[in-house]
Structure 1
Amino acid sequence: PGVRIEDDGRKMGLNGVDNGRIRFDDVRVPREALLNRFADVSPEGVYESSIGNPHRRFFTMLGTLVQGRVSVGGAGISVSKVALSVATRYAVRRRQFSAASDTEEQVLLDYGLHQRRLLPLIARTYALHFAQDVVRSQLHNVFSGITDDAEERRRLESRAAGLKALATWHATRVVQECREACGGAGYLAVNRFAALKADSDVFTTFEGDNHVLLQLVAKGLLTDQASAFEDLDQAGMVRFVTGLAVETLLERTSVHKLLERVRDLLPGGDEWDREAGLLDSDYQLAMVRFREEHMLAGLARRIKSGTDQKRDPGAVFSQVQDHVVALARAHVERLVTEAFVEKVRAMPEGDEKVALALLCDLFVLSTIEADRAWFMEHGRLTVQRSKTISREVNDLCRKVRPLALDLVDAWDIPPEMLRAPDLLG
């Protein structure tokens, strides 16, 4: 009694994902019905908790969201697989225009642009899949008590938040690209894309807005100390970073050491422009690691500069938020790259390893290509080498093209989950 669901005839959400309102009029929740894992209310009405520190208690309760974030991130990756399975199958059966033959029209996936649209997305989906597998294993270890220490839990929370952001943004992009790649037929509700979009679009804000989650990731990178992470608010975090000597932070992030590594991999002069080395996983890892660590050191400098000028810590942080989010994305992309590279290296020799190695190269080089302006600005790419990377991505797309159907079939999605009769026949 006293509880009612609002229904005034007005729609409040996306198709398929509706929100609603519940009103309570003079309703008392019994004390025995409280969610009291971390805190309780005594019969005398006194609030009690076994976690005395209010900041620690807040983050402990917030940490329970990690399971939801892992689940939502995994759901986003699954949505990407469904959309790419439909679009790829359609692209290998749909013929359009006589581009290479006078007698037969060409299938869509034989066009270079279509390969560029779909194949790097398949590669990135595989990369996110392997990264998700790592965070899933960490989740199991932490919540089953195998490695349930504060540092491991904090690492899990950060990784889950960052991967959730990238995976759900990826899903949104994939669904739209695949819908467009299927032309007008992709717009028909019967062919599933409309339902996929309705169901998955909200993932970017489920269990935390993605931009907020990436700021959480960056905060952990900046403080990098267990005691500081759980007790600092935004202004406190700024003051903490300001208290670090920039030289100490540079040493910790090993930027100068990474510079030496990059130079070892990419000698100056003519060798800088050689294509040899682009497919070297050590080179690829060095590039994404350098980007993250350079951004981390640069962000600390910007924060210190602002506070040295006696500016308000909140205003300082607000002005560097673009840098904060860029750092977090670079950090998560480094984790994703490492997960993919480690997976390929651990595989036994054979056709599957060759196929995944091609996909890994395509993922990393297309990632570098997408941010090549940054790499060029910071001296890690010459103009010529940037062009070489684009040519290499095109070449990798051509090599992956014959494997495309096998790659989406490997996800083993049941036909009843695809449900695109006009596209798949």
Structure 2
Amino acid sequence: MSQSADGSTGAASRDRAAGAARAARRPATHGSRAGVAVTGLGVVTPAGADEHSFWGGLCSGMSTARRCEELAGMPVDFACSVESVDLDAAVGGRSVWRMARFVKLALVAARQAVADAGHDPAHWEGDRVGVVLGVGVGGVSVLVDNARRLADDGPDAVSPLLVPMMIPNAAAGEVAIALGAHGPSLAPVTACASGATAISVARDLLDSGQCDIVVAGGAESVLTPLVVTAFARMGALSTRSDDPASASRPFAADRDGFVMGEGAAMLVLERERDVRARGGRTRALLVGAGSSTDAYHPTAPEPDGRGAQRAVEEALRQADWAPGEVDHVNAHGTSTLLNDAMETALIGRMFPHAPTVTAPKGVVGHTLAAAGAIEAVATVLTLEHGLVPPIANLDSVTDAFELDCVVKEPRRQCVETAVSHSFGFGGHNVALAFRRA
């Protein structure tokens, strides 16, 4: 075995040299809030299975809700499903058989985002690449199917792959495998805020110097009779079965609940200076991320929105913005009575200058853990295009505060600064602040 001049082995010397090179790339001050660039976007939603079709569907202001054969006979028989892509073909390869639907959605979106960022996983330094992928429920359809097999045919009928297919972190793991990402691989679960939480955690990984690149977002697919019926029994879903396309109506006075959706969205995040050094493209800057907890109720938001306000205030503090500097709000906007009333009060109180407001769930439904990531993508596209998509099925806002909701058609606006809200069961609140690149 060869030795270097100091008596160490050649392998050990190379390891130290590689470690020193990695350390040199890390931020000098780990607590700094340096610019974090969004360099890639990937999205698979009911409105479209790529960035361009998604953006076109969102700007159309037309809901994607429809009756679903698999929900026939249930209390609510409609949802917003992904239909414009063959996921098995899009994933490809022999490993597709071991993946639940939410994993396939995540992998397709992740590949899109990495390609959009101009990276080739075959040539990047994988131990400096992280994956943070929020999932709320996991492979519930696989679990239900195997529960039936156990009841009908006994233990031998249960798939040995049940556990790795159903666990929520399966998406993060499979994305890491596919991308050769050997850095931290995390799966935060904060219910409907999970996708936004993932983006916030990704920013921390870059700021701390643990990663040079992070692929972050959310994925969810739970359009099963069991889950949809469970939400219906809670009274959370719209019951407009006679007209599903009009059911998701964020901030409307006659809203009666959300429409279930499915999908995935992923963003590639890098330190701004690293992007400049490699000659990459920055699509937007993530300049603030605030989180808080209501500690109020398992499913209902704190009515006055003070918990959510703490998250927004922290995002603005990190961005070094006064509330009056916010041009646009991408609202959580679920179309439920309690959430929309709380968020209306929050926006009216925090932003009396009335920035424009949109709410993508009117078009794509509530995609649960994927929602925050899908809405982050929408926010980046709004900054890029100078165009605010309309809220589906909304004519005007009649709650206590007057909001400048964009309705009917997209509104041309030069948006320099935007905040995206995400709120989840358990009182989880996340606000992301984006600035135009």
Taking structure 1 as the reference length, what is the TM-score of the superposition? Answer: 0.28
Structure number with larger C-alpha Rg: 1
Structure with more of its chain in helix, by fraction: 1
